[in-house]
Amino acid sequence: MSISNSVESLCKALEDEKIAHEFANNKNNAISGKFEKEKKMRIGAEVERNALRAMRATANVEKNAALGKFNREKEMRIGTEVERDALKVYLRAIRAAVENERVVFLRMNAIVEAKKNALKGRLPLEWIDGYRQTMIDMSVPPRIGIAFPIDIRLFKSNNKSEVFYLLALTFLFVFDLGICFL
């Protein structure tokens, strides 16, 4: 019995060792699996971080594109405002030139009307053409209190063109006085 006990105990010891070895292998496999799982989790976390970085980079690119678009629109608005201001200045200059031409035309028209009326006998012709020349010939500067002789009958007229030419003549008279003072 002793041999048989020792064989049995040896078999039992081998079996226990085999169980212990399997247990150790399972334990090692479990630890390896745990490490593998942790490794996969780390890789997954790294992938997530890379995805977040890519999303941030995409968001930054989109933000920069939006800012670039905004800046281009702002530059276009500024350019449009500059063009609009330049057009306003140009239109003001054109209006001033047209107004100057209109004043010259009205003055010439008033002179023609006055000459027509003077030739018709309503006003002496020298009041229109000769007043300034008379002032120069006499070498007497006109006084401020000089009154422009106006036919009162014209003010009683309902004819608007006659009243207009009287107003134009008054303007010309004042203008000629200004030239005489120069």
Over the stretch 10-25, which tens digit does the pLDDT of each residue have?
778 778 788 888 888 8
Burial of 52: CB neighbours in 10 Å, binned 0-12, 13-18, 19+: exposed
Q: What tokens appear for 25 in the block?
A: 């292998």
pTM of the model: 0.33
Separation between Cα atoms, residue 126 and residue 135, nearest integer Å: 11
**Which of the four pLDDT bands, split at 50, 70 and 90, describes residue 3?**
low
> What pLDDT was estimated at residue 113?
77
> 164-172 — which CB contacts under 8 Å span 24+ positions?
164/110, 165/110, 165/113, 165/114, 165/117, 168/106, 168/107, 168/109, 168/110, 168/113, 168/114, 169/110, 169/114, 169/128, 171/107, 171/110, 172/107, 172/110, 172/111, 172/114, 172/128
Mean pLDDT of 146-175: 55
Give 132's Cβ-side CA count (13 Å radius). 14
Contacts of 117 (CB under 8 A, 6+ apart): 123, 162, 165
Mean pLDDT of 46-69: 89
Q: Give the range with max mean pLDDT: 97-101, 116-120, 154-158.
A: 97-101
CA nearest neighbour of 176 among 132, 134, 117: 132
The angle formed by the CA atoms of residues 64, 70 and 72, to the nearest 5 degrees, is 105
Q: What tokens appear for 90 in the block?
A: 């140009």
pLDDT in tens, 127-151: 554 444 444 444 444 444 344 444 4
**Which of the four pLDDT bands, split at 50, 70 and 90, describes residue 110?**
confident
